[in-house]
A and B are shown apart, each in its own frame.
Chain A
Amino acid sequence: MTHKSPNQNGFLVRNHDGHPAALTPAYKSSVTRSPTKPLLSFPGSMGEQTGPVFGHDMLGPLDKDLILNFAQPGEMALGPRIIVRGRVLDQTGRPVPNCLIEVWQANAGGRYRHKNEAYLAPLDPNFGGCGRMITDENGAYEFRTVTPGPYPWPNGMADWRPAHIHFSLMGQAFSQRLITQMYFEGDPMIWQCPIVGSIDDTEAIKSLVASLDMAEAVPMDARVYKFDIVLRGRRQTFFENRWEGL
């Protein structure tokens, strides 16, 4: 029996500067759900440095097509059609292949298909709001959907979320596990949102904003948004030595 022999160099130390603090009172839900004690830092071991692996064969043909994957036969989701594409890299710039990405979003009217959702905007009978894909050998991914609408949410009386798509990334190890949100270039609501504002760094926020790429638009069909994602880097003595010499 062979046991996997993972890279025991582990991962680069997480830089928390670009991440939100646990407690960000303007986002009220964080007040009672944020740990108050410091995280304990320890080098991880195999449980942190490995993770589940998913094969492309588990995906259905419509998993990455949110316009069709919940629609009745012959129908489509309502809203401005877009393709979101990008690459998943690690901090050393290398692609992360075979990374499971799961996305979820509101419909074009800003309404989620969820039993706890009470917003009065209507459901779209042809839109579910979930999709998933696995990055290829270059770390590339793409999916097709409609632009989600902004929506009001119970925080401040007039708080609206900017249009966004939620992303869950499995990475290649539990240490790389990440959930984030993608925003849309030019949306003024980004800069008013307490959840976005939980990140205390303008450059880091900008890296969550997808850019519109009209050159790649599909004529008379869909616009394209580009969104690259960076996961924690695996520590590699070889590369670190090379950097020293650069």
Chain B
Amino acid sequence: MSQKLLRETSSQTAGPYVHIGCTPNFAEMSGVYDEDLGAKMKTGPIKGEEITITGQVFDGTGMAIRDAMIEIWQADADGGFALTESNFTGWGRCPTDMETGQFQFDTVKPGQVPYMDGRLQAPHITVWIVARGINLGLHTRLYFDDEAKANAADPILTKIEHRNRVPTLIAKKQSSGSYLFDIHLQGEHETIFFDM
């Protein structure tokens, strides 16, 4: 390699107090920023099916961790990113609850987005997880269990060798408009994390 590339700055853990910098109002520090960034993904009436995604992040002992921060990034209902729908940001940020470890996003079901080769991907959301003890932020994807046909044709889901791990990427429909997406850092149900 003769390319004179700079090296990416090393990651360091977000630590237990990530809220101070990223969601200070959640950390009960009000008065600095009007509201926490990413707290609202919908800023007015929007097209598409409104959905709620909840979940927890489990450590290797099976405990839900209470100092993680999750960010999501997704297309709108038409499959566009933050341009086609002005009342929709496409980006959400949620710390896990300090008591229960729960996170929640109120968003819309994303449309289908083409892969590099032009094939349509199944509706999905890009997910990023940081916390104390996580040395490099973890990337994963959330797909939907009521999109079986699209999932069966998805360019990435279909290429995953260990088929028994695919369900770790699929949110489970609870009731109308509500999905459960738990993240497991270790263990039998360890979530698939990506290097993308």
Question: Residues on A close to B: CB < 8 A?
Answer: 1-4, 6, 8, 10, 12, 14-16, 18-22, 24, 27, 29-37, 39-48, 50-54, 60, 63, 69-70, 89-93, 100, 102-104, 112-117, 128-132, 166, 168, 174-175, 177-181, 195-196, 198-199, 201, 204-205, 207-208, 229-233, 240, 243-244, 246
Q: Is the CB of B32 within 8 A of A69?
A: yes
B8, B37, B90, B116: the one within 8 Å of A14 (CB): B8
Contact with A along B20-31 (1 / 0, CB 8 A): 111010011101
Q: Is the CB of B185 within 8 A of A208?
A: no
Q: Does B175 contact A (CB under 8 A)?
A: no
Q: Does B40 contact A (CB under 8 A)?
A: no
Q: Which chain B residue lies CB-closest to A232?
A: B8
Interface residues of chain B: helix, strand, loop or mixed (majority): loop
Contacts of A54 in B (CB 8 A): 37
Q: A45-B113, A47-B124, A208-B9 are in contact. Are A243 and B2 (CB under 8 A)?
A: yes
Q: Is the CB of B15 within 8 A of A91?
A: no
Nearest first, the 5 closest Cβ-Cβ pairs linking A and B are A104-B21, A29-B133, A33-B133, A52-B91, A44-B196
Q: Is the CB of A33 within 8 A of B131?
A: yes
Contact with A along B157-196 (1 / 0, CB 8 A): 0011000000000000000000000000110001111111
Tell me, rounded to whole Å, the shortest Cβ–Cβ distance linking A67 to chain B.
Answer: 13
Q: Is the CB of A175 within 8 A of B21?
A: no
Q: Is the CB of A33 within 8 A of B185?
A: yes
Which residues, 50 to 102 on B, are CB-close (under 8 Å) to A?
A: 59-61, 65, 67, 71, 73-75, 78-84, 89-91, 98
Q: Is the CB of B20 within 8 A of A18?
A: no
A40-B193, A47-B75 provided; 4 other pairs, C-beta below 8 A?
A: A32-B60, A33-B132, A41-B196, A70-B31
Q: Can you list 27 A-B contacts (CB < 8 A)?
A: A1-B78, A2-B83, A14-B195, A15-B8, A18-B9, A19-B135, A21-B135, A32-B59, A33-B59, A33-B132, A33-B133, A34-B185, A39-B193, A42-B194, A116-B16, A116-B67, A128-B24, A130-B21, A166-B18, A178-B8, A179-B12, A180-B12, A198-B135, A199-B12, A204-B7, A204-B10, A244-B2
Tier of interface size on chain B: 35 or more
Total A-B Cβ pairs within 8 A: 268
Most buried by A among B9, B20, B98: B9
Contacts of B6 in A (CB 8 A): 89-93, 230, 233
Q: Does B11 contact A (CB under 8 A)?
A: yes
> Bound complex: CA of A44 vs CA of B10, how far in Å?
21
Q: Is the CB of A47 within 8 A of B19?
A: no
> Bound complex: CA of A103 vs CA of B24, how far in Å?
11
> Bound complex: CA of A205 vs CA of B12, how far in Å?
10
Tell me, rounded to whole Å, the shortest Cβ–Cβ distance linking A74 to chain B.
Answer: 16
Q: Is the CB of A34 within 8 A of B133?
A: yes
Q: A22-B135, A178-B11, A179-B11 are in contact. Are A104 and B190 (CB under 8 A)?
A: no
Q: Is the CB of B17 within 8 A of A104?
A: yes
> Bound complex: CA of A53 vs CA of B180, how far in Å?
28
> Bound complex: CA of A29 vs CA of B34, how far in Å?
33
Q: Is the CB of B7 within 8 A of A15?
A: yes
> Bound complex: CA of A180 vs CA of B150, how far in Å?
37
